[in-house]
Amino acid sequence: MSVTEADIKKLASLARIQISEEEVKTFRNEIDSILGYVDQLNTVSASVSAHSQVVPEHRNQVREDISHSDTNPNPEVLVDAAPSSESGFVKVKKILN
């Protein structure tokens, strides 16, 4: 098995997901079996270097920096969708001590 329980805990922490000890075990088995399956990509002809880059077909599109307030929802509606807000701002717990 290539993925360890420590790896799973690290991934969960990077992804900001709390998981139980029991889930660490099941996720480890499942993720390991999925990675085992996708490892077949390494059998694709040797001429394909893992480092060769593919230029994506879709390029980033920029648009004029103009307000679409006529068609966009009112900012208050968006702020109201937050679990916690105050005076038109999204509210979070104190970050710096």
Partner 1 sequence: MDISTLTIEKALELLARGEITSVSLVEACIEEIKKKDGEVHAYLEVFTDALEQAKIADQKRKDGDTGSLLGIPFSIKDNILIEGKRAGAASKILENYVAPYDATVIKNLKKAGAVFIGRVNMDEFAMGGSTENSAYGITKNPLDTSRVSGGSSGGSAASVSMHGALASLGSDTGGSIRQPASYCGVVGLKPTYGSVSRHGLMAMGSSLDVIGPIAHTVRDCEIVFNAIKGFEGGRDVYDSTSLSADEYKKVASEHVREESRPLRVGIVPALMNMGGVQDSVKKNLEESIELLKKAGCEIVDVELPNIGYSLAVYYVLMPAEVSSNMSRFDGVKFGSKSEGGDLLEDYLKTRGELLGKEVRRRIMLGTYVLSSGYYDAYYNKANVVRKLIADDFKKAFTKVDVILTPTAPSPAFKIGAHSSDPLQMYLEDVFTVTANLVGVPAISVPSGVVEDEGVKLPLGIQFTAPHCREDILFEVGKKFESVRVK
Residues between 12 and 51 with contacts to partner 1, criterion CB under 8 A: 12, 14-19, 23, 27, 30-31, 33-35, 37-42, 44, 48-51
Neighbouring CB atoms inside 10 A of 74's CB total: 9
What letter does residue 16 receive in the DSSP assignment? T
Instruction: Count how many Cα atoms sit within 13 Å of the Cα of residue 65 in the half-sphere of its side chain.
Output: 0
Among 21, 22, 63, 69, binds partner 1 (CB under 8 A): 63
Rounded Cα distance between 33 and 28, Å, is 9
Of 68, 86, 87, 88, the residue at the interface with partner 1 (CB under 8 A) is 68
Count CA within 13 A, CB hemisphere, residue 77.
4
- Nearest distance, CB of residue 88 and partner 1, angstroms: 14
Are 80 and 86 a contacting pair, CB within 8 Å?
no
Which residues of this protein are in contact with partner 1, per CB under 8 A? Answer: 3, 7-8, 11-12, 14-19, 23, 27, 30-31, 33-35, 37-42, 44, 48-54, 57-58, 60-61, 63, 68, 72-73, 77-78, 81-84, 90, 92-95
